[in-house]
Structure formats: structure tokens, C-alpha cells
Amino acid sequence: MSPLHVPHPPGVVRATRGLVEALERRGVLDVVRLAPQRELRAWRHTQLPALVRELGLVGLHSPVSSFPLRGPGRRVQTIHELPWRHGVSENADWKHRFWAAWGPARADRVVCPSEHVARDLRQRALPGAARIRVVPWGVDAPFGEFPALGAVDEVVLGKYRLGQDPIALCSGAVREKKNLAAALRGLAQVRERHGPRIQLVVTGPDTPQLRRDLGLASQLGLSRFVSTPGELSEADLASLLRLASAAPVLSRSEGFAFPVLEALASGCVPLVPRHSAQSELAGKAGIVVDADDPASVADGLVRAVMERETLRSECVERAAQFTWDACAARVEALWQELA
């Protein structure tokens, strides 16, 4: 359970926590949490196999791509994405490439969160393709079509000094791969067409990439239409999604894309690129655009604003297919195969 104890990407942490808690709640499998007690790599390849033997475990379920190559028991590997196959350098170092290349040949099963990632792996034509299983993640409780009892979503508008214009919410779009520039260029096209007033809200910490993108917003004359409230609590993020008209998730590489699922569950229409993990997850409830074409993104933004109420129910219905119980059931079936 290393992602719950040492720094990992937020999506990996959420996927690990959601799956483990669902497995423990259901009680079909006996889950033993093994937390690193020393330097991660040394613990993974020396102490962890010894713990499997000592505790008499059937095997190890790794929530990341690396796992002990030696020792007793079965091995399940998790590969979240292969960003280098889509021109993205983030999380594309030699270690990740090594485990994505050779892990499937050694693991008994390989878990991927989407068919998009599974297809990337199968195209490598390495041994182990038949061991790949697609296990989509689930959506967390704060995100839903309705706020918690006694909560008023509109309070967040005043809290973060947002106006009454329709909102396009870019959740966590402060890293280069998130491709905030595509949403900005699309918004600029909307302004040039004298379309609806839309405020682009970008959540997440202050980063060098966010500063570069805000510079682009200034060049495009969009500064007064872009808000950066910083990092939000899940409750506030859920409130903003329920109020928003669109959620552009135009990343160049995603393995699953929690922001898409959170938007769907909140009744907010996601804008997603063609032939991506995002479009696979959104299904017919999403608005598919060409992220490299500002006119296409602009069309998507305008459609989301104009058809917001019509599209809400379809979004919520789509999100209902992705629960942590359904995710856990697939993992249970996988381990029952192995055991």
C-alpha cells in the first residue's frame, strides 16, 4: 500500500484508497495492508517477499507498476498509463518504462483502469498480453448530482469570488500534460464569436506551468474570464462541479481521468479529446472535441452551456456505472481466478 504512505500522484493515491476500502468493506477477500517500513525500493524487493512467506499470503496486489520479481505467491501489477506513447514526458522515466515493458511478462495478472491503457500495452506485443484485465476505478462520495443534506452549493461562488456567468471547470489543470492551453484557446474563440460569457475556473496549486498558461490567457485577452482559486476541498470541488456547465479535461495523456468521472457524477458535461481514456470513460455523455482545434473546443463549450440541463441526467446515469463496489468485484474475480 505504498501510495498511501509515500508520495505518489494524486490519482494513484485515490485509486489505491478507493479499491482497498471497498475490498475491506465487502469482505470477500482477506486483505492485509503492507506498508513500507524502510526505503521503498529495498523494502519492496527484500522485506516484502519475506512478509508474504511469513504471513502465508496467496500473493501480492501492487497498486503501482513495480512489484517484487522474486519470492512466493502470485503477483498482480497495476499499470495506470503509458504517457510516452502519447508524447508526454511526465511520469515517463526509465523505471516506469521498464515495468510497463517487462512487468506483464512476470506478473500473473495486469490491472489497467481503461481499455485505452490495455490497448497501449497489447500493442507492444510482449508476453503477458493475455493476462491484462481492465478494472475501471469508482467515484468518491462527495461527488453526486445533489449536495449533502443542509449544504448550499452556491455558497462557493462567494467564497471564491466567482460571478454568475456559466462556469467551465478545469480541475487540477496546473501541469503541462493537462493541456489547459487547449481550453484557453477554445474560450478565446468563444469570445471572438461573441458567444456566451463563460468563466474558466482552474483549480490546483500554483505551478510554473499554471503561470505560463496564465501568461497565454493574458495574451489572448482572457485574464478577466479566468479564475484560479487554488486547491479546493473535495466538498467545494463537488459543489463547483454541480454548478458548472462544462468540465474540459483535454489532457494529452490519461489512464482513467478522475475529473471526468467526478464531473459526470455531478451532472456536469465533460469535454474530452477524441480517442482518449477520457472519451472512453465519458461515453455518449461527454462532448468529444479535437483538442488541437480551438474552433472544435469552442463549439464544445458553447454546446455544454446551451444544453446543460438537457445533458445532466445522461451524465449522472453514465457515472452510476462506475462504483468502487464494481471495481472491487472485478478484483475479487481476478484473485479467485488466481487462487
In a domain, 52, yes or no: yes
The answer to whether residues 190 and 126 belong to one domain is no
The answer to whether residues 182 and 86 belong to one domain is no
CATH number of the domain within which 129 lies: 3.40.50.2000
The answer to whether residues 309 and 329 belong to one domain is no
The mean per-residue pLDDT over the stretch 112-118 comes to 96
In a domain, 115, yes or no: yes
| Residue 145 banded pLDDT, cuts 50, 70, 90 | confident
- In the sheet that holds 59-61, the strands lie side by side as 59-61, 74-78, 109-112, 132-134
Which of 145-154, 173-182, 219-228, 244-253 is least confident? 145-154
The answer to whether residues 177 and 78 belong to one domain is no
* CA atoms of 115 and 86, how far apart (whole Å): 15
In a domain, 149, yes or no: no
The answer to whether residues 213 and 303 belong to one domain is yes
Helix (H) or strand (E) holding 123: none
In a domain, 218, yes or no: yes
Cβ contacts of residue 167 below 8 Å, gap of 6+?
198, 199, 201, 240, 243, 244, 245, 246
Query: What is the number of structural domains in the chain?
Result: 2
Average pLDDT value for the chain: 92
> What is the predicted pLDDT for the residue at 70?
86
Q: What is the pLDDT of residues 239-266, one digit of tens each?
A: 999 999 999 999 999 999 999 999 999 9
Which of 125-134, 235-244, 268-277 is least confident? 125-134
The answer to whether residues 168 and 270 belong to one domain is yes
In a domain, 160, yes or no: yes
Q: Counting beta carbons within 10 angstroms of the beta carbon of residue 72, is it exposed (0 to 12), middle (13 to 18) or buried (19 or more)?
A: middle
The answer to whether residues 309 and 279 belong to one domain is yes
Residue 277 has pLDDT above 80, yes or no: yes
The answer to whether residues 119 and 202 belong to one domain is no
The answer to whether residues 105 and 239 belong to one domain is no
Residue 3 has pLDDT above 70, yes or no: no
Domain with 31, as residue range(s), is 2-138+323-338
The answer to whether residues 308 and 328 belong to one domain is no
The answer to whether residues 301 and 176 belong to one domain is yes
In a domain, 146, yes or no: no
Q: How many Cβ atoms from other residues are within 10 Å of residue 241's Cβ?
A: 25
Q: What is the pLDDT of residues 118-129, one digit of tens each?
A: 999 988 756 677
* CA atoms of 222 and 200, how far apart (whole Å): 9
The mean per-residue pLDDT over the stretch 126-136 comes to 86
The answer to whether residues 31 and 162 belong to one domain is no
In a domain, 263, yes or no: yes
Q: How many Cβ atoms from other residues are within 10 Å of residue 119's Cβ?
A: 16
Q: Greater confidence, 212 or 123?
A: 212
* CA atoms of 173 and 181, how far apart (whole Å): 10
Sign of CA dihedral 11, 90, 39, 131: positive
In a domain, 143, yes or no: no
> What is the predicted pLDDT for the residue at 126?
66
C-alpha closest to that of 183 among 84, 278, 83: 278
